Structure 1
Amino acid sequence: MTDGRPGRAFTKGHGTENDFVLVPDLDGSDDLTAQQVRALANRRAGIGGDGVIRVVPTSAATEESVREQAGEARWFMDYRNADGGLAEMCGNGTRVFATYLRREGLETADEFAIATRAGVKVVRFEGELIAVDLGPWRLADREAAQQKGSDAMVKVAGLDPLPGLSIDLGNPHTVVALPDEVDLERVRLREAPEVMPRPAHGTNVELVRPLAAGHIAMRVHERGVGETRSCGTGAAAAALATRWWAGETAHNTTWWVDVPGGGLRVRALEGQRVELAGKAVLVADGTTTLA
């Protein structure tokens, strides 16, 4: 800090190269401003990350809807996108958050709950993999999805508009299946895809290429961030959309999703819930004067 106070501690981590700056606030007394988040996430002048996660007791959260989760989850994943905006949830961030809690001794069990703005999420450690029950998912417009297979049109740079399917996993996603003639790796995702009708709170956009039964490749443009190397809830949305388009119900409930940063496992669970599993790594600890 520039006013003479000691710097703020941080940890850097990633899940399939979707990276985050974790900031412990273990007594809930030192919130972050949007400007501080942008400074921490800045890849040239800051630490760098796709998002910033404040580690705070659930009972100390400012939002009443989060504090109500304190009976089930002791710790709140206060997640912010790189642009400083609040976000409901982050699948890869959840695994990194859980890894941090275990390393610091804040949680010691192989399975425990954490609080998010999208409700309580249960994480489970399976050796190197960490599985997260992302909870219920829903089609944003089920009627349109049943009638046309899509509910939106998505304009990606260099391509004609393509149909997209909107899926809500606590945060919004629009999934696009690329035509066979389009090379997923060559698509220009630096610019934010235009989604029509425009979602009120923005949306993540996933571009999908089927590889084999139960196996897809994906790239993603995240709202408030840009293209990222991975998106956990996006991988789940991509698998669920592909499954929906295939007309599958009880069979083929497990999907492997290749992202630029690695691979993720997605499982459809009973009760229209979905589970995400993958690795998480903590790569650095330090102190910063940025926030």
Structure 2
Amino acid sequence: MTRFTKGHGTENDFVLVPDLDGTLELTAAQVQRLADRHAGLGGDGVIRVVPTRLASEAAVRGQAGQAAWFMDYRNADGSLAEMCGNGTRVFAAYLVREGLVSGDRFEIATRAGRKTVRTTAEGFAVDLGPWRLVDEPAARRDGFDIMVRPRHGKPVPALSLDLGNPHAVVMLPDGIDLAALDLTEPPQTQPVQPGGVNVEFVRPVGPGRIEMRVHERGVGETRSCGTGAAAAALATRFWSGVEDESPWLVDVPGGRLRVTPLPGGRVELAGPAELVADGEFHQ
């Protein structure tokens, strides 16, 4: 029997499993079962809530001095992931509800390093940390560095960004309908990304505002992706030629997120987080 909490951030949903004494060993098969939308609880991912000092990875345990709690994030297919932008807010909401953190600003540990969380009127804002263009010389020379081909579509240029996890952002050319894209299978990339990549398809809506759909590695199309929204906004900002710190609004199928570039090459993601159910899962 496993205790759980179900939550979502702009309908990017997760199963949170508390492991306050660090004794629970989640297997890939268990994660798949929990995330299964027919035989389990259903979710885009599973988050184990564990004290940072009890994490199995040394690099994570090294964050324990500043971040008491580790967001042990797994994709729905059971694979480990560095972090999840929307997941950080849902994780934060759980920590606050359970009284595991105090104050309106605190740190959490992830495989992509410590993340600073602050409470906001809309939910939570998370400093996702440093980001970078994967091949900046090619990006500044050509505007892209990778080709992406969605199912039943033609290859289109994309921009690779690293936000602690990998992304490829496509600005859809005129004549391609964002809503009509078939994202039931992973888009193909050239060069091939051996570890997989999150692919965001973007359409401008107005000044400082874009629409986005995303195919997440290890999951499939999701209603939202936090780091993907940040990558999409940063890529659009790059293509605009005005690389200032103005915030961007990103509309996803599950709602709206705010992305704000920060000094020092960092970026903040803000949006809602909701905890919707608690219970016990019999495996």
TM-score range (shorter-chain normalised) is over 0.9
Segment drifting more, 78-87 vs 175-184: 175-184
Q: 2:155 aligns with which of 150, 161, 164?
A: 161
Q: 2:81 aligns with which of 81, 87, 97?
A: 87
Residue identity opposite 1:271 in structure 2: G
- CA distance in structure 2 between the aligned counterparts of 1:249 and 1:127, rounded to whole angstroms: 27
Q: Which residue of 1 aligns with 2:202?
A: 208
Residue identity opposite 1:261 in structure 2: G
Q: Structure 2: state its 5+ residue gaps.
A: none
Give the C-alpha shift of residue 273 in structure 1.
0.4
**Residues 74-110 of structure 1: per-residue CA shift (max 9 Å, x gap):** 0000000000000001000000000000000101211
**Residues 242-284 of structure 1: per-residue CA shift (max 9 Å, x gap):** 001111122x621000000000000000001000000000000
Q: 1:274 aligns with which of 254, 262, 267?
A: 267
Q: Name the SS for the 1:230 alignment partner.
A: coil
Residue identity opposite 1:61 in structure 2: A
Q: Which residue of 2 aligns with 1:284?
A: 277
Residue identity opposite 1:96 in structure 2: V
- CA distance in structure 1 between the aligned counterparts of 2:210 and 2:150, rounded to whole angstroms: 20
| Root mean square deviation, CA, Å | 0.7
Q: Which residue of 2 aligns with 1:247?
A: 241
Q: Which residue of 1 aligns with 2:211?
A: 217
Q: Which residue of 2 aligns with 1:9?
A: 3
Q: How does 1:93-108 map to 2 (within 5 A)?
A: 93-108=87-102
Segment drifting more, 167-176 vs 127-136: 127-136
Q: Name the SS for the 1:191 alignment partner.
A: coil
Q: Which residue of 2 aligns with 1:259?
A: 252
- CA distance in structure 1 between the aligned counterparts of 2:44 and 2:155, rounded to whole angstroms: 27
- CA distance in structure 2 between the aligned counterparts of 1:159 and 1:201, rounded to whole angstroms: 23
Query: Could you tell me whether the CA contact under 8 Å between 1:25 and 1:31 is conserved in 2?
Result: no
- CA distance in structure 1 between the aligned counterparts of 2:119 and 2:247, rounded to whole angstroms: 18
Give the C-alpha shift of residue 158 in structure 1.
2.2
Give the C-alpha shift of residue 129 in structure 1.
2.4
Q: Does 1:115 align with 2:112?
A: no
Overall identity of the aligned pairs, in %: 66
Q: Does 1:199 align with 2:203?
A: no
Residue identity opposite 1:274 in structure 2: V
Q: How does 1:43-62 map to 2 (within 5 A)?
A: 43-62=37-56
- CA distance in structure 1 between the aligned counterparts of 2:140 and 2:75, rounded to whole angstroms: 32
Q: Which residue of 2 aligns with 1:3?
A: none
> Which structure 1 residue ranges, 4+ long, deviate > 4 Å from structure 2?
none
- CA distance in structure 2 between the aligned counterparts of 1:29 and 1:54, rounded to whole angstroms: 11
Q: How does 1:127-166 map to 2 (within 5 A)?
A: 127-166=121-160
Residue identity opposite 1:16 in structure 2: T
Q: Which residue of 2 aligns with 1:231?
A: 225
Give the alignment's TM-score, normalised by structure 1: 0.96
- CA distance in structure 1 between the aligned counterparts of 2:20 and 2:252, rounded to whole angstroms: 33
Give the C-alpha shift of residue 17 in structure 1.
0.1
* Equivalent residues, number: 283
Q: Does 1:180 align with 2:174?
A: yes
- CA distance in structure 1 between the aligned counterparts of 2:79 and 2:152, rounded to whole angstroms: 28
Q: Name the SS for the 1:217 alignment partner.
A: strand
